Structure 1
Amino acid sequence: MENSVATTNYKYVSYLWDEEVAKSFGDDQVGLLIYRSNLLGADLRLTNYAGGNTSCKTVEKDPLTGNDVDVMWVKGSGGDLGTLKKSGLAGLYLEKLHSLKNVYRGLEHEDEMVALFNRCIYDLDSKAPSIDTPLHAFLPFKHIDHLHPDAIIAIAASKDGERITKELFGGKLAWVKWQKPGFDLGLLLEKTVQENPGITGLILGSHGLFTWGDTAYESYVNTLDTIERASEYLNDNFGKNRPVFGGAKIESLPKEERLEKASTLIPILRGFTSSQNRMIGHFTDDERVLEYINSNDLDKLAPLGTSCPDHFLRTKIRPLVLNLAPDADLSDTEAVKAQLADQFEAYRADYTAYYERSKHHNSPAVRDTNPVIIIYPGVGMFSFAKDKQTTRVSSEFYINAINVMKGAEAISEYQGLPEQEAFNIEYWLLEEAKLQRMPKEKALSRKIALVTGASGGIGKAIAEKMAQEGACVVLTDMNAEALEEAKAEFESKFSKDIVATAVVNVTDPQAIVDSFKKANLAFGGVDIVVNCAGLSISKSITDTTEADYDILQDVLVKGQFLVSKEAVKVLRKQATGGDIVNIASKNGIVSGPNNVAYGTAKAAQMHMSRLLAAELGPDKIRVNVVNPDAVIRGSKIWGSGWAAGRAKAYGISIEELPAYYAKRTVLNEEILAEDIANAVFVFVGGLMGKSTGNVLNVDGGVPAAFLR
């Protein structure tokens, strides 16, 4: 079909189809399926991250018989439409899928059908088929889209959803009452289409939308048209009969005050939500969130929970709404904790009671009873999950739920999914099996590392090691340009979700405070703090100026003190322990030539570490030291005159330094920035949890520096 729809025809959805791109696929229907899927996934008004699925049906050559066979290509289990590739599809024999009807034993046994999907695989490189496979297979259309648009779910979650669907779409969309996804729902969709010839789609109660077409383009446009119509209808009704969410009950704090409150509170919340498993945090004060959490209807709607399974699988069935005034004084951490403790206990007890009321004889054990979504009226919304992407997506899903509630209340009355149905999804044995198949978490998963001096050299190597091992990282440095380059590199290597930056001169107390605020707002707090910012000056005592001495003391000693002091405030709020690792030097032990100011500062760093280890032990905060020596390649200090100073001290040329340093060690090895990063990981990686106040030399073995 020719592209006949202009981009200006749509107001509430994005028309992204490019006919020239589509033509480049020729008759490749699978390529067009992937193209269509990516377009649909690019517009979050159409579906959530990793939500929904799409399919197409083609005729292929059977590799065993050479005969033409009908094959269905459908998004496999997991994955995301916006980033879908062919490797994310399942290709299955359509006839075999239909033949499964002959062995289906009924609703109570439908979970056993999932294993049989594998016996229908045509493409041996297929992704594991999802539970939604029969929903696509049993619909007699070549191209099908199944999405979870907020506008459609608002109708699907309305008390009058069935009537509204019939009237709004003039009978072109059929209504299917809520039923858990699976083989039986596929049969029901098939029956509904047979009984309603000529329909262009289906709305599933509390769930989502099915639309289709003879071509990829027809399916795409049908999907957009349907969602556009629903969106327009909702928009026309917002505020028509009553104020949105019953109007505002309270006003939001000004933006800066909201962020200040959030950064102060989130480490405390993280501590509570980490009572069973350590969590990563996220904060948003999106206008859609504020409209909801400040409203008269919050107390009515929040307990009802979410409706769409995709929503509550990531958000839990309902949020925790804090009984905390927007202008509450949060300066007394212990008083705030005391005020919130009962609220968290009540939430955990309520969740446990929900589990006990709803569980079956074979249900998985109760999971973490802490909230995922926490609402602070007047300030914003927090979310907590195992990693940054999951917690960010959980937040986005609850915003989807807010949109659904807003729409449903505008046109009718919002209805959450019945509690038992919600439980049956949340503790579905198939979902549990999926969780059990998740890869083992890395050593630093669920942790947050802040590293000073992280734009290059040793600091950057340490931050990279932390990220490789699963941590979220906050890179700080006084060189803003180099910091941006490092950030871009980390985003490319890892993910935008795991890295944040802050421009910090460690002699500036306010910049340090601000960097921890950024860490709090980005990830919920900190667990590991590595003091690596530094500089080097090598001069004899007569050549060392007072300015030389002062700057080394300020950066190395006072900077370590200021950063550690602020770190302890956050770590104590969380009350989950933590690590401070200070990068000192062999020069803090060895009395080398022309090194009075630098060596003195390094020795001070080491002893400060011992003092902090003794003081912070009761808080389970470990403080340890890594002593590098002669890290030349990639190190920033060698461009500061240090190399020339050390070469002069030893009576050799700069070019001879690497070999000189290696030969004076018992291992005769050059020391790299990565070696120092590995040493830091030794302390924080989980195997040294009972080690504090220690020093680890990474110098190739310099006998004069042996600790004794």
Structure 2
Amino acid sequence: MEKTFQYVDYLWDNEKAQALGDDQVALFLYRSNILGADLRITNYGGGNTSCKTIEKDPLTEEDVEVMWVKGSGGDIGTLDRSGIAGLYTERLRNLKNVYRGIEDEDRMVGLFNHCIYDLNSKAPSIDTPLHGLLPFKHIDHLHPDALIAVAAAKDSEQVTKEIWGDTMGWVPWQRPGFDLGLQLEKCLEENPGIRGIVLGSHGLFTWGDTSYECYMNSLDVIETASEYIAKKVKEKGSTFGGQKIKSLAAEERKQKAAELMPLLRGLASSENQMIGHFTDSDIVLEYINSNDLERLAPMGTSCPDHFLRTKIQPLILNLDTSENVTNTEEVLKKLQPSFDRYREEYREYYENCKHDNSPAMRDPNPVIIIYPGVGMFSFAKNKQTARVASEFYVNAINVMRGAEAISQYTSLPRQEAFDIEYWLLEEAKLQRMPAEKPLSRKIAVVTGAAGGIGKAIADKLVAEGANVVLTDLTEEALQQALKTYKKDQVSVAICDVTKEDSIEEAYKKACLAFGGVDIIVHSAGLAISKSLEDTTLKDWELLQDVLVKGQFMMAQKGVAIMKKQNLGGDIVNIASKNGLVSGPNNVGYGTAKAAQQHMTRLLAAELGGDHIRVNTVNPDGVIVGSKIWEGEWAEGRAKAYNIEVEDLPKHYAKRNLLQEIILPEDIAKGVFACVGILEKSTGNTINVDGGMANAFVR
């Protein structure tokens, strides 16, 4: 009978595992993926796993043992063969012959490359010898909250003994590297028969003869620690010293966070523009509302994987939940000193701990920001990094909670933390990361984005690195569009651009999802082609409401957020050639498009001082993939030109100078030119029409 678990997810599927046969590497990858799927076991990018197999040496054709291990910078939850390194185990162990001690750690990493068996290997990580110097076929190195709580407790070694007796080893804190591998090897030699090792302030090593045995061993060890902590928490009766303040109601928290996010984003972006994330989960609220927050938060985190992503400590906002955060000037007066102080303390930390060869100081702004009674904000270079930082700090909260229940939480000494954060190997890893895309760190809101031109614009902005909030009239259309993107790239919001409260709600979602807005693209539209006599007042008002009033309100509400951020911004309005060129049966549509174009010029003149650029993209003849060409509009234009509807694409292509069919993707490129290339242009009109001489603006 399979054991049931209360504190971890048992995800092993025998059918899936059996389908992999005797492929030990495939089974190791399967185990890695299901371990990484449970954030209580390890977070994104945290921990590493391995297996050892017998392979043919391509030069000698002799059987050799090869270790397959997660490569540098990977994530076990999504690990595949392209993310692992394959090394000769014996060669790796022979590196003991040339190891010169702790000061030799960085050189040793370079020597891992001399042990490579699989030439398609990912770069081996610093943890490679920790797996290679142990003899087991399958090994997990994980960072479960419960185990790190044990590892970070003041009396960690005694607690380990109390929980597992002689079945688990314990090794004190030491920076990852070759010597830590030697310490694990020594621990096993001194304690033969143990099932795993607790690393002080760090994490867990477990193993097994098969992938399944390793998996079950890991889960069982984590479950045992979790049960022990749950019992201690129950005995203590309260966590984090009990509640100090009461949370706002859920909707009030969201509203307060949405109002504050752009201000925080602006302050956190003083050196590099950031993307935000917000969470107000129960465990976060329990911690940030507690009596012990002021004591525990400055201590920082214990596990290196945690503080590498969350910085050494969070910033706690000196704001009461009753304060009105809509008064930008007053709130900034309160927040600015806190940010200044945080940056200065980070500089002092850097100056006090740096070495002669330390990399230059990095961005001193906080990553984690705590607002007691409301929630926790995180800011980083992109949404995924901001979300993962938040998840890691939640892990750190769980660790503090467990360690305090056991005895007392301890964090790494500042110098040890610095030596990890500014490790030259970590710096080298950062330098190897691919260059950021042109719109990385930007947040866009696109109206009419569920299809047609709006969807093409959203696709282009995402492809160039932006986070995008897709807005449209129906949830169904938005959810369908959402399926085409990866996690963390986009968010969606129902938005009727003719209604002020709907626009405000869409911007609120943008602030909560990503932190604010940098790019506004008003692409929502419709077209009505009728003569003066046939155009009804309803037709006229609908065109004015969607195209003109919608553009006005999108700009008005969006600019208020941009000014809070103080990061500048872009507004791009999708107008039409018809706003410049007179034609029959077009009085309502053409007038509305002309109004859009002139509003763009007026706003460009008004907002230049805030470095908010406002430009127009004028499409023409976008028939393929465009919603406005469905139904009456296409029929009206065909009638105006005395041709059949199916002949419209050819007609429009023949009449432009380049004789090209204009696609939604072409309009998207025009938008990208405005926001990603023409950094010193505002008040301009870009015609994307294949060249229409009568629409030339000059």
Q: TM-score range by the shorter chain?
A: over 0.9
Q: Is the 8 A contact 2:450 2:470 kept in 1?
A: yes
1:186-216 Cα distance to aligned partner (Å, 9 max, x none): 1111111111112111100000000111222
Aligned to 2:425: 430
1:652 aligns to 2:649 (yes or no):
no
1:323 aligns to 2:318 (yes or no):
yes
CA drift at 1:23: 2.7
Aligned to 2:62: 67
Identity %: 67
Q: Indicate which of 264, 281, 285 corresponds to 1:286.
A: 281
Q: Is the 8 A contact 2:260 2:326 kept in 1?
A: no
1:523-581 Cα distance to aligned partner (Å, 9 max, x none): 00111000111111111111111111111111111010011111011101100000000
Aligned to 2:686: 696
1:219-267 Cα distance to aligned partner (Å, 9 max, x none): 1111111111100000001142352100000000000100000000001
TM-score by length of 1: 0.97
Q: Is the 8 A contact 1:585 1:627 kept in 2?
A: yes
Aligned to 1:705: 695
Aligned to 2:51: 56
CA distance in 2, matches of 1:104, 1:33: 29
Aligned to 1:500: 491
Paired residue type of 2:177: G
CA distance in 1, matches of 2:94, 2:20: 32
Q: Indicate which of 306, 310, 335 corresponds to 2:305.
A: 310
**What is the SS of the residue equivalent to 1:90?**
strand
Q: Is the 8 A contact 1:322 1:376 kept in 2?
A: yes
Aligned to 2:662: 671
Runs of 4+ displaced beyond 3 Å: none
1:272 aligns to 2:273 (yes or no):
no
Aligned to 1:156: 151
CA distance in 1, matches of 2:474, 2:254: 25
Q: Indicate which of 552, 555, 559 corresponds to 2:550.
A: 559
1:336-380 Cα distance to aligned partner (Å, 9 max, x none): 112100100000000010000000000000000000000000000
CA drift at 1:640: 3.8
1:46 aligns to 2:41 (yes or no):
yes
Aligned to 1:15: 10
**What is the SS of the residue equivalent to 1:170?**
helix
Q: Indicate which of 628, 634, 644 corresponds to 1:643.
A: 634
CA distance in 1, matches of 2:656, 2:193: 83
1:1-49 Cα distance to aligned partner (Å, 9 max, x none): xxx523xx21111222233333333322212211211221121111111
Aligned to 1:336: 331
Q: Indicate which of 169, 172, 181 corresponds to 1:177.
A: 172
CA drift at 1:479: 3.1
Aligned to 2:295: 300
Aligned to 2:597: 606
1:631 aligns to 2:622 (yes or no):
yes
CA distance in 2, matches of 1:23, 1:590: 68
1:43-76 Cα distance to aligned partner (Å, 9 max, x none): 1111111111111111111111111111111111
1:640-692 Cα distance to aligned partner (Å, 9 max, x none): 4111111111222222222221222111111111111000000100x312111
Aligned to 1:661: 652
Q: Is the 8 A contact 2:88 2:117 kept in 1?
A: yes
Q: Using the TM superposition, name which of 34-43 and 627-636 deviates more.
A: 34-43
1:570-624 Cα distance to aligned partner (Å, 9 max, x none): 1011000000000111111111111111111111111111111111111110000
CA drift at 1:334: 1.3
1:582 aligns to 2:573 (yes or no):
yes
1:123-159 Cα distance to aligned partner (Å, 9 max, x none): 1111111100100111121111110000000010010
Paired residue type of 1:54: T
Q: Is the 8 A contact 1:536 1:640 kept in 2?
A: no
Aligned to 1:394: 389
Aligned to 2:406: 411
CA distance in 1, matches of 2:21, 2:530: 72
Paired residue type of 1:694: N
Paired residue type of 1:501: V
Within-5 A mapping of 1:192-231: 192-231=187-226
Count of aligned pairs between the two proteins? 698
Within-5 A mapping of 1:77-226: 77-226=72-221
CA distance in 2, matches of 1:607, 1:564: 14
Aligned to 1:529: 520
Paired residue type of 1:698: V
**What is the SS of the residue equivalent to 1:246?**
coil
1:259 aligns to 2:269 (yes or no):
no
Q: Is the 8 A contact 1:344 1:370 kept in 2?
A: yes
CA distance in 1, matches of 2:585, 2:52: 77
CA distance in 2, matches of 1:645, 1:336: 54
Q: Is the 8 A contact 1:453 1:460 kept in 2?
A: yes
**What is the SS of the residue equivalent to 2:481?**
helix
CA distance in 2, matches of 1:192, 1:680: 61
**What is the SS of the residue equivalent to 2:606?**
helix
Paired residue type of 1:705: A
Q: Is the 8 A contact 2:343 2:365 kept in 1?
A: yes
- Which 5+ residue runs of structure 2 have no aligned equivalent? none
Q: CA RMSD in A?
A: 1.0
Paired residue type of 1:579: D
Paired residue type of 1:637: I
**What is the SS of the residue equivalent to 1:317?**
coil
Q: Is the 8 A contact 1:553 1:601 kept in 2?
A: yes
CA distance in 2, matches of 1:698, 1:368: 40
CA distance in 2, matches of 1:83, 1:628: 41
Aligned to 1:363: 358
Q: Using the TM superposition, name which of 496-505 and 362-371 deviates more.
A: 496-505
Q: Using the TM superposition, name which of 22-31 and 131-140 deviates more.
A: 22-31
